[in-house]
Structures are given as C-alpha cells and as structure tokens.
Structure 1
Amino acid sequence: MNTVQKKILSLTAIVLFIMVATWFILTYYNQKMQDQYNDILQRYLQMNEVSASSQQLVTSLNNYIQTPTSSKLSNAESDRQRLLDAQLQIADLRNNSNHFTLTNYLNLIDSLVDSTNRSIRFLGEKNNEEALNDFTEATRLSKYISEMTLTLLGTELQTYDQFYRGMIMQSVELKKLGVWMLALFTFLLLLFTYWFSLSITRPIQRLTQAARELSRGRFDTHIEIYANDEISFLAKTFDRMRININNLISEIQTKAQLESELQKNKLLLQESQLRSLQSQINPHFLFNTLDTLSKKAYLEGAVETSDLLTSVARLLRYNLKRLDRPVTLYEEVRVLREYIFIQKTRFTERLRFEEEVDEACLYVQIPSLTIQPIIENAVIHAIEPLEEGGTITFRVRDGGSEIIIEIEDEGSGISEEKILHIMEDRFAIQEGDGHSTGIGFGNVINRLRLYYGREDIMAIQSVVGKGTKVILKLPKEREAGVNHV
C-alpha cells in the first residue's frame, strides 16, 4: 500500500534528482568550456616557455664562456634540456594553420641547440674564436625564436579568435540555458506538486463531504475514493460504517412499520370480533328458532320456505364463526351457494349467477368470510340498483402456483380514484342500510394481505358504466412466518 509518507518521500527524491541533474548538466558544460580555455592558454604558455628557455640557454652559455666552470656548464646543459622538453611539447601543437611555421620554429630550436653544443665543444677545445662565433649564432637564433614565438602567438590568436567569441557566446547561452532549465524544472515541479497535493487533498475533501452528508442524515451516498493509501483505507472503513448505520436505520424503520401494521391488524381483529359479537345475539335461540320454523314450514308443505330458512340458518352459523380461523375454499364456496340461494329467492329472475369452479382447486386455505362479502358487494351495487337486474360470474381456476378467483358483475363500475382508495383501505364499499354482513371490502383486503403476507393478493378491474371484476390470486403454498388473521 502506498502510504502518504511514501508519497512525500517520493516527491522529495524527485526534487533532489532534478536538482542534482541540473547541477551536473550545468557543471558539465561549464567544465567543458573551461577545459577548452585551459587548452588554449596552455598552448600560449608552452610557446612562451620555448622563448624563455631559449633566452635562458643563451644567458647560461654566455656565463659559461665568460667563466668556464663545471657548475655553469651544468646550468647550460640543464637549460638546454629544458629547451628540448619544451620543443617536444610544442610539437603536439601542430595543426593545419600553423604547420609550416611550427616546422620552421622546431628547426630553429634544433639549430639553437646545435650552436650551443658546438660553442661548448669549441670552448672545451680552447678554440675561443669558434666558440664565440657559435655563441653569436645562438644569440641570433634565440632572437629568431622569440620573434617566431610572437608570430605563432599571433597566428594562434587569429585561429582561436572565432573560438573566443564562440566561447563567450556559449557562456551567454549557457546562462540562458540555466535560466530556462530552472524555469522548466520549476514549472514541472509545481505541476507535479499540484498533482501530488491533489492526490492527498481530494480524497480528504471527498471524505469531508461524505461526513457532512452523513451529518445531514443522508446515509445513501456512496463513498468511493480511487487511491491506495491510508486515506483510502479510512474511506472504505467510513463507507462500511455508513452502510451499517443505514442498514440499522432501515431495520429500525422496518420493525417500526411491522409493529404499526401489527397494531393495525390487532385493531382490525378487535373490530371484526366486536362486530361479530354485536351480531351474536343469543345465537342458540336464533338457530333453534330457524330450525323450528324450517321444520314447521316443511310439515305445512312450504318446501321452498323450509329450504330458505335452512340456508339462512347455515349462513348465520357460518357468519358467526371466529374470523381468525382459516377455512378451505370449499367451505367458502358452499356457504356462497347458500347465500346466492337466499338472494335468488329475494331477487328472483333479476339475479343471474354463473359459476365456473375447478373442484380440484378448492383445497386451499383461505380466511373465513372472504368470498361472500365481495359477492354481497356485487349484489348490492350491481344487481339491486338495476330494475332489470344483472349477472354475477364466479370463477375458480388453476393458475399454476396460484388459485385464481374472479368475481365479475355488470354494474355501473368504479372509478380509478375509488379503486385506489379501496386498495389503500381508506374506506370500504358497503351499504349503510343493514344489507351487508358488516365485513367491509377493505377489511377483506387487509385480512388477505395479512394471511398470505403479500400486497398483490387482490386486484380490481373496472370500467365505469360497464362493470367490475375482482381478481384474487391465492398462493397454493403460504409463505413461512406470516401471521394468522
């Protein structure tokens, strides 16, 4: 992992490298120019050394001629060797511009050395006249060498005049190069430093912004930082903390919602039980009375009246059951037929009931008093208001993983707004004149949702003026953990 410390050390290393590289480049060019200048100066010094050595040799020779001693002879020989050494160095200075002159110059040195040698030899042979003649020749040659030295120096000055000017210009350009390199490296360093600072400050700014959002209660903002250092690790940890807090809040909200729904369902259950209790006015007396009336009507030959009373008794007994106990769809269909029989007795030909029931689907469990309130609602709103009556169609079919129940009427229909209110349980569709069982439409929806643990258990399709279809989708297998109604 690239730590912030490593980044800072890397920046320091880069700065030091650029500074050292700049110093080496400037030092290299400066040293190169200095070496060139030293080479030229060395050429001048070597030429001047030849002239000085020749003059010194003539002086030592003169001293020896004046007073021939071994020490002065030694000095003369030492000066001669010095001149020969200078000659060897001068030979290395040959180039195209001074080739001819330098060749003559070297020959003069050889002639001076020869004259010196002859003068010393003649003096040793006591031939003073010849020795003086060679000394005079040596003196003349020394003057020629001095003049030739000046000539060579002039030639060198002419040869390297352009070089001097170029060296001066090069020095100026080198200064400019140094300034430009300094400016370039400064710009690059500023640019790199800006990028480097952003790599540190930008994640911190994002982390600060995320913390500000969290302080405002916005826990759904994802924190994403593309880095590989301590700040990235801190951001990932901070994001995990945000997710945990968000999950905890969601869990608390879910629990609060479940508690609210549970309390609401308890209230619905209490309301249903209260309505059931209100309708249970001495039920045994009512059952016995209806049974007695049914038997009396049968004995008196009123078979239809006897059947009607029997259906009413069965319907009353079923309606007085506890609503929190599930029944089979078979039982619901059976009591629905009793209810239809009673209503047909009431409406005669005005009520037309059609059923398409798949008997294999009647084994599923369903909350008590689910189908009848929906059929009753259709009778009240689709049959009773119409003088010519209408048709109610009841279908039960296999829908794969679900049992599909459809209740369709030819009434006046329901508006979309009213359907929305029904599904949200804002009010129930029921009459207020005592015709209903007291189990509201919204009550049925809520009990089905609670029983199956699903919100899409019922759908209402309606066109105003053309009728309404209520569709129930009952799962063949209930989800685990749902509450009983």
Structure 2
Amino acid sequence: MAGASRARIGIRGRLLVFLGAAIVAIVALEISAQRVSYSITEEYETLMDTYHLVHRMRVALSGFRSDSDRYIRDPSTTTVERLYEGIASLSANEAAVSALRNLSQEATFEVQATGYGMDAYLPLVSRSISLRAAGRSDFYADFAKAERIAGYVDTYLSKLLSILMREGDLRFKASLERSEFYNRSILIGMIVAGLALIGYTFLVASSITKPIRELAKATERLAKGDMLVSPIKTRSRDEVSVLVSGFYAMSANIRSYIESLKEKAELEKRLHDEEMSLLSMGKALREAQLMNLQDQMRPHFLFNALNSIARSALLEKAPKTETLTISLAKLLRSTMKEGSPYTSLGEEIDIVREYLNFQQVRFGDRLDWSLKFDPALKDFQVPRFLLQPLVENAVRHGIEPKIEKTRILVSVQRRGQRLKAFVVDTGVGMSARDLVRLRRVVAAATMDRLPAARTVVRQENQGEPLGRNEEEAPFPADAPNALAGSGIGLANLSIRLRILYGESDCLQLFSKPGKGTIVRLSIPLKGAQRWPES
C-alpha cells in the first residue's frame, strides 16, 4: 500500500505541489501590486479630470468674452446664434464645475463663488447682446458690468485650479509612498519564494540525478552504435524507474527498426530507379508531342496558301501568279525546315512579312499592314511558328469576312526579361460568347487537355454545359476538323509554349464585335531550356 502511494506521488507530483504553492504566492503578490497600481492610476485620472474640467471652464469663458466683446464693438464679426451657443456651453461647464464643491473646504468656497458669479454674469451679457442686436444704444452698461463679473469669475477659477493642484499633489505623493511600500513587500516575497524553490529543487534533483547520469552514459553508448547496453539498477519507484525501463525497451525497438530501415532503403532505391526511368520516358513523350504539334501546322498553313493562289489565279487570270508563287516558295521553305523547335526572331519576322506580302496581293487595297520590330532582338531564339499562326488567324477570321478596308499591326518589343508581341486587326472581331468559348479552348489545351478543348467547342456549339466527366471523354476521328475553325491554331501554339516554358498564361485574347481582335503574347527571353536543341 505504501509502495502504491509512492508511485502515485512521484517527481511530478512533488514538483507540482511546490510550484503550485509558489505560483499562488506570486500571483497573490502580483494581484496586490496590480490593485495598488490600478488605484493610483484611477486616482491620477480623477485628478487630471478635475484639472481639465476647471481649465476648460476658463478657456470657454475667455473665448466667449472675446467673441462677445468683438460683437459689441462690431456686430458683423460674429452671429448672435453663436454667442447664445457660447452661453449654453458656459452654463453646462458651470454645472460640471459645481460638482467639485465637496472636494475640500477651500475648493467649496471657490466653486460657490464661481457659481454666484456665473449666475450674475450670464443674464447680464445675454441682455446686452440682445440690446445690441436690436440696435439699441443702452447695451453697454450691462456689458461693462458683465465684464467686471467675468473677471472675478476667472479669478475664482484660477484659485480653484491652484487649490486642486496643491491638494492633488499631496494625494499623489501619498499614493506613491503606499505603492513603494507594496512594491518592496512584493520583492521580498518573491525573493523568499525563489530561495525556497531553489532549495527544494536541489533536494529533488539530488535524488534523481544519479540514475539519470548513468542513463545519459548509456544513451551516449547507444548513440555511438552500441546497442547492447547493460541495465541500470534503481531503487525508486517513481518516473525515473519508468524512464530506465522505457530506455531499454526503446533500445530493443531501435535494433529492430534499424533492420527494417535497411530493407526499406533497398526498396526505395529500386523505386527511385523506376521513377527516373518513368521521367525519362515522359520527357521523350513530351518531345514527341511537341514535334507532332509543330508538324500539324504545316499542312494547315499549306492548304490555306494554295487555296489563296488558286483563287487569285482564277479571278485575275494569273497576272500576279509569279509574285504569289515566289512568296509561297519562301513560306514553304521555312515551313518544311527540319531540326530545332526554335528559330531566330528575325527569321520569324521574315516569315510574317512574306505571309503578309502574300495576302496583300490577294486582298489589294482591302488590307493594310505594318510591322514594328526592334532589330536588336533579331538573334533571340523563339519557338518556330510563334507569330505566323496568329497573323493567319487575323486574316482568315478577321479580315477575310470584312468588305471594308482593314489593317493588321504586328508589334514585337522587349519589356524587361520578357518578349511582348501583339497582333492587332481591325476586322470583324467576335462576340463575347465566341471570345469566352475560344478562351476556354485555349485554356483547356494549355492544361495538356487538347481533347478537352475540343469538348468545349462541341458543347458550346450544341449549347450544352461543360461537365467534369465530359472533359475526359474521347473524341471521334473528325473532331480536329470540327475544331479547325474554332481555335486549333491558337490551342496548338498555347500547348507548345507551355511545353517549352512551363507557363500557362503566355497567350491572351481580347476582341469586340465590329472593332477587331488583339492577341497578346508574352514569353521569357531566357528560360526556354526545357527542350533539347534537336
């Protein structure tokens, strides 16, 4: 029974009992100090309030005397309403000051004198103001008498303020002395409690430090790799014995855990090798995807160019065929070029220039175009077919349907560490619904979900809502044809930019019906190193 009692009252119990008593004592002392401090603060605030009250009364009386004097001399300097408001304010201040009559005998006399003076002053000054406002000439006698009374009231208030400050100083000094006494008592109490805590801590520590030191030595041997540590004998039945038995149980568990870690390390090594293999396969797959997307642009552009040549030859009976053929040859040469997915910005600008020359022959005066390009950027490497698909979309969907004269502007400039390009046309533009649909197509394609982009187009055309499960649904074989007029070129470009730069917001679209369309392109000048050169 005694052993069980000792087990229940262990080291923590003894420490908690003592610490609890020490904390209670310290808290009691602190509460006493706080109460004293609060009473002193409250008393100080009361004194300050009385000072401010009397001071406000003097300031209000002085200001009102100045206003009334100016009004008596020249009624145009202020209004009667303002003076009556001042009289009401003085009455309110006088009522507040009258509450100080019970502070002391001297203060009571000055408060009563102030009250009598205000009772005489306010009617006189009010009557003189009324007479002056009525234009009568007998106003000055009352005003002069009121001014003499106001002088006496100001003297009473000055004496009252001096009395209050003198008495407040005495009260505040007494409070400070009382506070110093309590502070000294609290300091002595805290010193005594601290000494008692140190003594008790030493007694408790001496009974438990020996087995703990031995346990520390065993822990050091365990840390150095010696798992076969000898047991430590303890006589106590408190937490120290529990700690010792737990230590030896832990050392046994560590031995078994180390063995399991060796097995897990071998397994993780095999998993890492497999993961690296999968990453290599994924990189090869994305490379194939990029090259495939680039190849898609070639027939798409080629067929449009051949169609333009055929139509021009039919309508004009071939007088411009030579010019069209030369431009087409240059375009096809750049289109069929194999190798790196990058090209210089200067070559990309040349492709756009040849394409616009080609379309200029077709549309004649209906098309006006201009290129704004900083020649210092000509050697920067950019993805192939970066700008030409955007210009082609502007011609096909913005310029071609419009009969009036239109304009295309292509601007390429450097902004910090990014390349900013704008393709602006004044064509037919597109409705808000079509713009939202096209943005959804590009966004879906940018997230590596070109089939989902085609789903967006199909559902928008059929008036269906876009569902989560439908984004993953497969498409029939003719889906690319259905998407060709709804953003496949932009989706293709957006996917390529995301593969090369890892950014999903390189391409932005803006349009208004009848006004035209703006395509904004932003890519980093550095950082397109995620794809091999060949």
Please tell me the TM-score bracket, short chain as reference: 0.3 to 0.5
What TM-score does the superposition give when structure 2 sets the normalisation length? Answer: 0.37
Larger radius of gyration: 1
What TM-score does the superposition give when structure 1 sets the normalisation length? Answer: 0.40
